[in-house]
């Protein structure tokens, strides 16, 4: 198997970053992944290590406490982390693209100076409260309300499936809420809610199929009051703004998915060389070799797709279609590779202590979160004029 980074196609600074994160993933993340997965425990020590490396600040300017990098640098880090532990990777992805990025993209200077240094440092996590029981893919079905009352927003409602919303270091949740009605349509805005605000509760964590070391909670808001100045961006533009955040986030999820797909390849190559059956290593079996070759092809094609989408985004060109394509093919590659890797491992692939078993459980959500497969097909079709 050819190491993609060794081909020299990446500029040195990107390649060096990827190799540094790869080393961290192998030496720090991988040894504790099975433990945190089994215990459903949040890996605070791993997050602290990522914070020390500056990973949470990768795409933000130094003036806000960031590393002065870009979104592609974040994607490279997510790919390397995704190879060994999707829970750790999604903690970083959500902390940056959903927690901090809305403040960076749409916040005023006061909001940026107050929140970004905390979030970019990794010492604090932010979350984005969009999904509700009746408003997932149909985000326009939002029922959470925010009413101005005496210079404060009075917020009532609930959210579900919110990542990074209940950790000991969660400091901020940005909430979409109905703030009025305009031309017969709901006016949806986004509001910053500090995690210690009275009336805001992160309910007990979910018992999930995968991503067991990732923090995910339903949230409730009961007469939550925050200052009127906590409005993030223009009133009534909350839904539209978040669609931009989702477009970017799909590239990041694609990168994470590529990491998962490549991790399955790497584990399968290693196992097939070591495992013997009928007097020879199973890699000598052409059926096994072909299966792994197809897995590698999927990972490579998906990587090319997210590289393309990221390049368009960073150049300021339209990238919505390419982001959806990348998210679609990469999430399917992760799921297909996890299935094939589990088959190659046989009975061992069904044991949770093996990385491929965790990838098998973890990868399904990649076809659902930040826009389901069906939503991506819908978006791609729209971009084609269908």
Give the residue numbers marked as catalytic: 370
End-to-end CA distance of the chain: 40
Which residues, including other chains, have CB under 8 Å from residue 66's CB and lie 6 or more apart? 57, 58, 59, 60, 116, 120
DSSP state for residue 183 in the 8-state scheme = T
Residues in the chain: 386
Find the DSSP H helices in the chain.
Answer: 12-24, 30-39, 44-53, 71-84, 86-93, 101-106, 109-121, 238-274, 286-314, 320-345, 355-362, 373-383
Residues 6+ apart with CB under 8 A from 6: none
Judge residue 63's burial from the number of C-beta atoms within 10 Å of its C-beta, 0-12 exposed, 13-18 middle, 19 or more buried. exposed
Q: Using alpha carbons, list the distances in angstroms from residue 237 to 12, 55, 187, 316.
A: 39, 29, 8, 21
3-state secondary structure 326-337: HHHHHHHHHHHH
Of 106, 115, 109, 76, which Cα lies nearest the Cα of 92? 76
SS3 271: helix
CA atoms within 13 A on the CB side of 236: 7
Is beta strand 170-182 parallel, antiparallel or unpaired with respect to 125-129? Answer: parallel
């Amino acid at each position: 198997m050819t190491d993609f980074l060794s081909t020299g196609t990446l500029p040195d600074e990107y390649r060096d970053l990827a190799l540094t994160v790869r080393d961290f993933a192998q030496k720090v993340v991988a040894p504790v992944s099975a433990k945190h997965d089994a215990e459903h425990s949040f890996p605070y020590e791993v997050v602290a290590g990522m914070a020390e490396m500056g990973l949470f600040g990768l795409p933000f300017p130094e003036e806000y406490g960031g590393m002065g990098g870009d979104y592609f640098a974040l994607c490279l880090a997510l790919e390397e982390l995704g190879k060994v532990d999707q829970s750790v990777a999604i903690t970083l992805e959500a902390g940056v693209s959903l927690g901090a990025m809305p403040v960076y993209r749409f916040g005023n200077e006061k909001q940026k100076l107050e929140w970004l240094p905390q979030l970019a440092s990794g010492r604090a996590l932010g979350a984005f409260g969009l999904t509700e029981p009746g408003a997932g893919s149909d985000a326009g079905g939002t029922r959470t309300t925010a009413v101005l009352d005496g210079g404060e927003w009075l917020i009532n409602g609930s959210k579900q499936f919110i990542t990074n919303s209940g950790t000991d270091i969660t400091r901020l949740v940005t909430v979409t809420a109905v703030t009025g009605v305009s031309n017969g349509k709901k006016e949806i805005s986004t509001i910053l809610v500090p995690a210690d605000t009275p009336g805001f509760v992160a309910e007990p964590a979910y018992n999930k199929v995968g991503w067991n070391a990732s923090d995910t909670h339903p949230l409730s808001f009961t007469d939550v009051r925050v200052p009127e100045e906590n409005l993030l961006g223009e009133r009534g533009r909350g839904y539209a703004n978040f669609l931009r955040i989702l477009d970017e986030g799909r590239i990041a999820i694609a990168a994470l998915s590529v990491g998962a797909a490549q991790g399955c390849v790497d584990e399968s190559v290693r196992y097939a060389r070591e495992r013997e059956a009928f007097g020879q290593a199973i890699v000598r079996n052409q059926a096994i070799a072909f299966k792994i070759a197809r897995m590698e092809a999927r990972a490579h094609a998906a990587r090319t797709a997210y590289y393309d989408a990221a390049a368009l985004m960073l150049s300021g060109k339209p990238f919505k279609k390419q982001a959806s394509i990348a998210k679609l093919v990469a999430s399917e590659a992760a799921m297909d590779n996890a299935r094939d890797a589990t088959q190659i491992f046989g009975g061992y692939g069904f044991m949770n202590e093996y990385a491929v078993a965790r990838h098998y459980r973890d990868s399904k959500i990649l076809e659902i979160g930040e826009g389901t497969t069906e939503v991506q097909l819908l978006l791609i079709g729209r971009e084609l004029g269908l």
